[in-house]
């Protein structure tokens, strides 16, 4: 059996906010939206979870911060390799051509 079409997320959020504000009960919202109380409960849980996580804070860097830190370390290491290569090239060029005035 196919249920009613899904509501847009904006409508779900409006219903959840109305329940949280005490403007209507879960049962009333379910009747008005023609969805089960269980669906309303799921919307409410999905709506509140990110807020709960945000209030709890984090004990360490986020996944994105860890990713950026790893990329930074990789780029720093690569840059160090380029600098060493450039110094070697400069020393070898000085040995063949004498001291260079532009590469000092």
pLDDT tens digits along 8-38: 989 999 999 999 999 999 999 999 999 999 9
Q: How far is Cα 18 from Cα 65, in angstroms, rounded to an integer?
A: 36
Domain match, 95 and 66 both: yes
Q: What is the pLDDT of residue 2?
A: 60
**Which residues lie below 8 Å from residue 40, measured CB to CB, with a gap of 6+?**
15, 16, 19, 26, 29, 30, 33
pLDDT tens digits along 62-87: 788 899 999 999 999 999 999 999 99
Domain match, 41 and 74 both: no
Domain match, 27 and 66 both: no
Single out the residue in 56, 75, 90 at which a domain terminates. Answer: 56
Q: What is the pLDDT of residue 55?
A: 79
pTM (two decimals): 0.50
Q: What is the pLDDT of residue 103?
A: 56
Q: Which domain holds residue 23?
A: 9-56
3 falls within a domain: no
1 falls within a domain: no
């Amino acid at each position: 059996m196919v249920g009613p079409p899904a509501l847009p997320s904006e409508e779900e959020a409006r219903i959840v906010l109305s329940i949280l504000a005490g403007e209507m009960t879960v049962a009333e919202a379910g009747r008005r939206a023609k969805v089960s109380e269980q669906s309303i409960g799921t919307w409410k849980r999905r709506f509140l979870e990110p807020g709960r996580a945000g209030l709890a804070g984090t004990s360490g860097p986020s996944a994105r911060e860890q990713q950026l830190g790893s990329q930074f370390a990789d780029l720093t290491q690569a840059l160090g390799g380029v600098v060493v290569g450039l110094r070697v090239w400069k020393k070898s060029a000085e040995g063949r051509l004498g001291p260079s005035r532009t590469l000092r």
